[in-house]
Amino acid sequence: MTTAVLSATAGTGRLAAQDRSAEAWLGSTLGLDAATLERARTGRPATEILEADPRTLAVAGVLRMDRPPRLPVPGRGWTLLGGPTMDGPVLLDDPPSPDAAALLDLPASDVADLEGCRPTDCRLKAPRDALPALARGGGDARRAFRALVQDLARRYRSGEALPAFADKPEPVAPGRAWSALRAQAPELARYGAARTELAYAPAPAGSVAETLVLRRERFGLRPLVTLDHVSELRPGAERPLIVLQRQVYANHYFEASAQVVALEATDAGTWIVLVRRHRLDDVVGPLERRLIEAQVAGYVERQLGALVERLDSGEDRR
């Protein structure tokens, strides 16, 4: 796959100001400490757990490259959201490709957990009308899960409101959960202000591509399958690429999630910013929270390393 090599076209003075602006924002607004910024400034991947409310996990990874990154061709920005800890991302088309169908194959452990699933008490996130088929278990549950994700994708693409999920005592509206997460995510305001609604538009102003993708990643004891809306933005020389991911659906753990990959070109190099933010479906205790934060931080560290390698090589095997 052909890639584009970023070259600095803005004036040196403007790029120097951009470097100061980027570093100041990373410290004062995103909340990275001086040690993290110093490590990133010297070209080493640096990660940090960010402050967040009791229902939210947030981890940032940053690095300043001193060489021009090789960008994916326009429309392939979603491929930068992958990493060594996950399967995917894979585009979700209608009908699904073989790769997408494989990610929608419900694991045996999930199928076993679904027997007896009912409203307010189910071990998989689903709207009320999907629960009876899931509760039948076996092949019925597998078919119901595939149909559920494909139906949510269809509804989302067509502009319909996403249904509330009824697996917990209190129904969860995805739009409300997303709003709660977005309110404490300064990276969305900086990099994706025009594309932070949980809504699909085929070609909104300023967007290069809008896609729906599937990913699978292990959290806790279960594989986490997510359906994500990805926007690819290319604002200009100073911010040559922004990839913004919003969770449409997750089968476990998270009511809402966001991920931002942003590049900021400066006279000292290109800042690579990766932020993952997740809204938990329950409040967890301090020990469990530290364990989950450590897991997410480890994922971000490995994902950032893979991202830098990808931007160095320009290789796109998806």
The residue extents of the domains of the chain are 3-97+173-313
> Phi, psi (5° rounding) for residue 38?
-65, -45
Inter-residue contact 137 to 131 (CB < 8 Å): no
pLDDT of amino acid 115: 84
Inter-residue contact 258 to 181 (CB < 8 Å): yes
The structure tokens 């917990």 sit at 168
Query: Along the 318 residues of the chain, how does pLDDT read in single tens digits?
Result: 445 554 444 455 565 566 678 999 999 999 999 999 999 999 999 999 999 999 999 999 999 999 999 999 999 999 999 999 999 999 999 899 999 999 999 988 899 989 889 999 999 999 999 999 999 989 999 999 999 999 999 999 999 999 999 999 999 999 999 999 999 999 999 998 778 889 997 766 678 899 999 999 988 778 899 999 999 999 999 999 999 999 999 999 999 999 999 999 999 999 999 999 999 998 889 999 999 999 999 999 999 999 999 999 988 766
- Residue 177 Cα distances to 173, 183, 192, 224, angstroms: 6, 10, 18, 18
Of 63, 67, 77, 28, the C-alpha closest to 273 is: 63
C-alpha 110/C-alpha 205 separation (Å) is 40
Chain mean position to CA 217: 11
pLDDT of amino acid 194: 73
Determine if residue 43 is left, alpha or beta; phi over 0 gives left, psi from -120 to 50 gives alpha, anything else beta.
left
* Residue 288, number of CB atoms within 10 A of its CB: 13
Question: Please, which residues have CB within 8 angstroms of residue 47's CB and are 6 or more apart in sequence?
Answer: 36, 59, 60, 61, 62, 297, 300, 301, 304
pLDDT of amino acid 18: 65
pLDDT of amino acid 160: 94
pLDDT of amino acid 203: 67
3-97+173-313 is classed CATH 3.30.360.10: no
* Residue 88, number of CB atoms within 10 A of its CB: 24
Of 266, 273, 261, the C-alpha closest to 20 is: 266
